[in-house]
Structure formats: C-alpha cells, structure tokens
Amino acid sequence: MGKRILTVDDSKTMRDMVRFTLSGAGFEVVEAEDGVKALSLLDGTRVDLIITDINMPNMDGVTLVKKVRAGTSHRSIPILILTTEGGDQKKAEGRAAGATGWIIKPFAPEKLLQVVNKVCPSS
C-alpha cells in the first residue's frame, strides 16, 4: 500500500503545493485545514506522515503534535513541521512537542521530497 501523508495547513496554496509535490512522487495526500480537523481525520484513518504548519486557527501545529504524540493511534508516526527561516524558536517548540523534523518555507519541491523521504520513504 502506498504511503499516505497528511498535510495540515490553513493555506490552500501550501496544501496544494505539498499535495502536488508528494502525489507526483507516488504518495497519497490527504489534507486538513487546522489541527482540529487533522485530529478528526486521523481518527480512524491510517496516515504514515504528518506535515503541519505552525500558525493555524483553532489549533496550532505545536498543539497538534502534542495531541498526536499523546494519543494512541498515530503516536509513533513521523511529523514534520513547516517553519520559516529564522523560526528557531518555533522549531524548538515543535521539537519539544515531539516533532520528528522540519521543513523550511519556502521550499523547492525536491527539498520537500528529500526531507519526506528521510523520515517516510515512499518504498
């Protein structure tokens, strides 16, 4: 079965870009607009990797990471956070919450793929 990746971002542009890049590389991509929607999607859905933005309405990325790690169904899956250059503080917060790694925005498609493959290889 192909790997399924959940992209969580309030920006449709970002979700589209992530989807475009990853589905082109054979991943299945599912989307959520914020942490709350991501959690309800995760309930009962297998996901192999989460890529989440930090700044989102309703539930931000750091809280999402914490909740996923505290849950049962997906607590051992890799989670990548999207940060901007110089967002070291956010990176550290995400790390502390249990994030696996990070991707710096803006990213080139192959950079995104490289990082994704590092934590969740397509094969």
Partner 1 sequence: MNSDRPDTDEFAQFRQTFFEECAELLSALEEHLADLQERAGDTEELNAIFRAVHSIKAGAGAFNFTRLVSFSHTYETLLDALRDGQVHQSEAVTAALVRAADVLATLVEAAQEGRELAADFGEAEGAELAALLQQAGLARHTDTPAPDAVSAVTDDTSAKSASTRYSIRFAPFPELFRHANEPLLLIRELMRLGDVAVTCDTSRLPNLGALEPEDAYLAWDIEIETDRPLADLREVFEFVDEDCDLVIAPEAHLPVAEPIDDEESGTATMPAEATQTVPHPHLATTSQLPASTAETGGAGQAAVNQKSAGVTSIRVDLARVDRLVNVVGELIIAQSMLVQQSHSDAGDTPQLTTTQGFDEIATLTRELQECVMAIRMQPVKSVFARMPRMVRDISAKLGKKVRLVTAGEQTEVDKTVIEELADPLTHMIRNAVDHGIEPPEVRLADGKPEQGTVRLTASHAGGNIRIELTDDGAGISREKLFAKAVEKGLIAPDAKISDEEIDDLIFAPGFSTAAAVSDVSGRGVGMDVVRRNIVNLGGRIAMRSEAGKGTRFTLSIPLTLAVLDGMLVAVGREKYILPLTSIVESFKPDPAHVRALTGGGEVVFIRGEYIRLIHLSRIFGVSEAIPNAWDGLVVLVESTNNNKIGIVVDELIGQQQVVIKSLHDNFEPIPGISGATILGDGRVSLILDVEQLRRMPDHVSGRRERASAPCSDTGSAPIPSPEAEAPLAALA
Binding site for partner 1 (CB under 8 A): 1, 10-14, 16-17, 20-21, 43-46, 55-57, 69, 76-79, 82, 84-86, 95, 98-102, 104-111, 117-119, 121
**C-alpha span between 23 and 45 (Å, rounded):** 18
Other C-beta atoms lying within 10 Å of the C-beta of residue 21: 20
**C-alpha span between 120 and 12 (Å, rounded):** 23
- Could you tell me the smallest distance in angstroms from the CB atom of residue 46 to partner 1? 5
Which residue in 12, 66, 18, 68 sits closest to 38, CA to CA? 68
Is 30 within 8 Å of 3 (Cβ atoms)? no
- Could you tell me the smallest distance in angstroms from the CB atom of residue 30 to partner 1? 10
- Could you tell me the smallest distance in angstroms from the CB atom of residue 9 to partner 1? 9
Is 30 within 8 Å of 45 (Cβ atoms)? yes
- Could you tell me the smallest distance in angstroms from the CB atom of residue 76 to partner 1? 6
